[in-house]
Amino acid sequence: MTGSQVKNFESKPYENLADPELAGGPGPRVAELIDRLSRLTRELQYVDGLNPAQWEALRFLSRANRYSRTPGAVAQFLGCTKGTISQTITALENKGLLERRPSNRDKRVCLIDLTEKGKALITRDPVRRIEQAVGAMDGPTGAAMVQGLSRLLAAVQADADAPLFGVCVACCRHLSPNEGCGKGEVGRCGVTGEALDSDDAARICVNYKNPE
Ligand code: SF4
């Protein structure tokens, strides 16, 4: 994304209800903008010898918790088949960016971790250019976008019955110190009964459930 593209994006007031583009309500325009942004975001991800699916898998695995760094969870998050994700993971493994190991809990399950090379590459994630563009906007616009897009994502996920993949600390099954986790613990998972540290609490989880 060039500097001029960012500037044009900033200078277009999306909340102007007199805008003829909003005559049919904001829905069609929002759908069009998200579709266009999705295409641009996809184009950004043909760098460093990776394709968009490989970047998406690497990004997910860099943020996922210990229960979610499996081929099945990556497939659910990306909405693709296990066969497709297996090819993506193998390609990343062959590039030295990921490594697989058997789970201590169940040897039939393989866990996937980023290698040091993978961790170094994800710091150059091309999607950070979107973060920079949002960061160049004023605070209230950025905050309104987070709120609006989060609500939109939740509504579309519910409609599609898609897994939520929220952040652990916000999960209704996350037990905090005053909800029964062990003394001196940061938290505990109400599903597995295992202790969670502050790093676990900030990660996304395939078993996440929204509070009622
Ligand atoms: S508390 Fe929820 S989000 Fe956290 S590990 Fe357990 S199921 Fe996953």
Q: Residue 11: pLDDT above 70?
A: no
Give how many domains the chain has, as a whole number. Answer: 2
Highest mean pLDDT among 11-20, 174-183, 187-196: 187-196
Asked if residue 117 is part of any domain, the answer here is: yes
Closest C-alpha residue for ligand 1 atom 7? 207
Interval 63-89 mean pLDDT: 94
Instruction: Measure CA 155 to chain center.
Output: 16
Is the Cβ atom of 203 under 6 angstroms away from ligand 1?
no
Find out whether the beta carbon of 165 lies less than 6 Å from any atom of ligand 1: no
Decide if 109 contacts 102 (C-beta within 8 A). yes
pLDDT, residue 10, reads 43
Q: How far is the CA of 208 from the centre of ligand 1 (A)?
A: 5
- For residue range 87-102, list pLDDT tens digits in order: 999 999 999 999 999 9
pLDDT of residue 185: 77
- Taking the CA atoms of residue 43, residue 150, residue 147 and residue 52 in that order, the dihedral angle to the nearest 10 degrees is -10
Distance, CA of 124 to CA of 142 (rounded, Å):
22
The reported pLDDT for the residue numbered 86 is 94
- Distance from residue 127's CA to the centre of ligand 1 (Å): 26
Q: Which one of 126, 156, 185 terminates a domain? A: 126
| Euclidean distance between CA atoms 97 and 81, whole angstroms | 21
**60 lies in some domain:** yes
Q: Cβ atoms within 10 A of the Cβ of 13, count? A: 8
pLDDT at 81 over 90: yes
Residue 191 has pLDDT above 60, yes or no: yes
* pTM of the predicted protein model: 0.84
| Cβ atoms of residues 173 and 207 within 8 Å | yes
Q: How confident is the model at residue 17 (pLDDT cuts 50, 70, 90)?
A: low
Mean pLDDT within 37-47: 96
Output phi, psi for 113, to 5 deg.
-125, 150
The boundaries of the domain holding residue 103 are 25-126
Q: Residue 105: is its pLDDT beyond 80?
A: no
**140 domain-assigned:** no
CA of 21 to the centre of ligand 1 (A): 42
Distance CA 161, CA 79 (A): 12
| Paired residues of 175 in beta bridges | 188
pLDDT, residue 9, reads 40
Distance CA 154, CA 168 (A): 16
pLDDT at 21: 67
Could you tell me if 114 and 194 lie in one domain?
no
Question: Ligand 1 atom closest to Cα of 171?
Answer: 2
Q: What is the pLDDT of residues 140-190, one digit of tens each?
A: 999 999 999 999 998 998 888 888 889 999 999 999 877 766 677 788 999
Residue 139 falls inside a structural domain: no
Ligand 1 centre to CA of 28 (Å) is 35
pLDDT at residue 24 greater than cutoff 90 = no
**Phi–psi pair at 196, nearest 5 degrees:** -120, 135
Q: Does 50 lie in the same domain as 100?
A: yes
Q: Is the CB of 76 under 6 A from ligand 1?
A: no
Residue 5 scores a pLDDT above 60: no
